[in-house]
Amino acid sequence: MLVLWVGLMPWWSARGAEPSLRDKFQRQFIVGVAADGFLPGDYRSNELQLIRTQFGALTPANCMKMDALQRQEGRFNFGMADALVAFAASNHLKVCGHTLVWAKDDRTPPWFFADGTNAASRELLLARMETHIDTVAGRYRGKLASWDVVNEALDDGTNFIRPSQWLSLAGEDFIAKAFEYAHAADPGAVLILNDYNVEQPGKREKLLRLLRSLQERKAPIHAVGIQGHYELDAVPFKEIEETIKAIHALGLEVMITEFDIDAIPRSRWWADGGKYREEMAKLNPYAEGCPADVLARQAAQYEQIFGIFLRQSGAITRVTFWDLHDGRSWLNHFPWERANHPLLFDREAKPKPAFRAIMALP
């Protein structure tokens, strides 16, 4: 009788009070969340409960980055990363590794690029990259679902690949090499090229050009990660859908890897050479809470974008939110300090209107 009764229960009641994102979209894509290490005391019990009940995959927000794992050459620090992988294993969560190479100078420990007081040669830099990838991806071989192999390689300005010492010392093919090394280290992992603003037409063209060249070279790339850091009232819906289709047409999976909708638009921070920064740095309009009309617009925009994800679910295999709830969001700190409200759950880990809007989708 019990079996029959459970079978007849609505899909949300089996796991507790709240319906779950994971179950709601299980036929379309995995729903994941970025979080950090899982050492004792890192998360409150209601936060752990939220992770366990709502999500099917975990992305380490910081603890698997190059500067977290190998800040000094040869001295690997796997404590937090191991704790995250262990938590995931005991809670039936997939782990989506992030990130083997971050193609920016300020996100790479400086020793990678140096040879004593000289710049490293191409051979030395590639050998270090291979050692890093082999050690990290090799350690978790068979345990991770995917790896973001190269992060943020495309330039925002007029260049193709972002200028960096990766590019200037090793040449453009450091990207293809990273995929080759990652595949050798963990042949079962889905390998992802991850980047932001790739829905913007100029950057999208660069993305497609890079993907074609990787495919021509037979580099083992399987998916594109669209980071998906959007801003309220400026979500590029049409361009997002076009980009998803264009990636899928190349035979690659699409993952939305770092999804959030910033409640306090931030693009002016970078406009006109940064001349608004002083003024922006004082902006903290929702420190006492997010007004209902803002939450309602955010809900409508989350709903609209999820409508696209559902329509394109043949192309999309995962949608991961960047951070667990508003209080944990990186957008409270980047690019300036403010109380932000970009996610589906509030500071008490309670569902917001955006959560309800998504869960009400047909």
Which residues are at the interface with ligand XIL (CB under 6 A)? 61-62, 151, 227, 258, 330
Q: Which position among 199, 231, 241, 258 bears the catalytic label?
A: 258
Active-site annotation holds for 152 = yes
CA angle 266, 301, 98 (to 5 degrees): 60
Would you say the C-alpha torsion 14, 15, 16, 18 has a positive or negative sign? negative
Cβ pair 137, 100 in contact under 8 A = yes
Residue with smaller CB distance to ligand XIL, 237 or 330: 330
Residue 139 CA to residue 181 CA, distance in Å, equals 14
At its nearest, how many Å lie between ligand XIL and the CB of residue 102? 7
Residue with smaller CB distance to ligand XIL, 227 or 320: 227
Residues contacting 164, CB < 8 A, separation 6+: 103, 104, 105, 108
The one-letter code for the residue type at 252 is L
Q: Which position among 152, 180, 231, 253 bears the catalytic label?
A: 152
Strands (E), the chain: 30-35, 57-60, 94-102, 114-115, 118-119, 146-151, 190-195, 223-226, 229-231, 253-262, 316-321
Residue with smaller CB distance to ligand XIL, 177 or 229: 229
Would you say the C-alpha torsion 15, 19, 21, 24 has a positive or negative sign? positive
CA angle 95, 97, 101 (to 5 degrees): 180
CB atoms within 10 A of CB 133: 24
Residue with smaller CB distance to ligand XIL, 99 or 243: 99
**Taking CB positions, which residue lies at the least distance from ligand XIL?**
330
Residue ranges in 105-200 assigned as alpha helix (H) = 122-139, 165, 174-185
**Token digits for 161?**
């690949």
At its nearest, how many Å lie between ligand XIL and the CB of residue 330? 3
At its nearest, how many Å lie between ligand XIL and the CB of residue 23? 26
Any bridge partners for residue 336, and if so which? none
Residue with smaller CB distance to ligand XIL, 312 or 332: 332
At its nearest, how many Å lie between ligand XIL and the CB of residue 320? 11
**Token digits for 181?**
């090394």
At its nearest, how many Å lie between ligand XIL and the CB of residue 120? 24
Residue 341 CA to residue 269 CA, distance in Å, equals 18
Residue with smaller CB distance to ligand XIL, 54 or 59: 59
At its nearest, how many Å lie between ligand XIL and the CB of residue 98? 6
Residues forming the active site: 152, 258
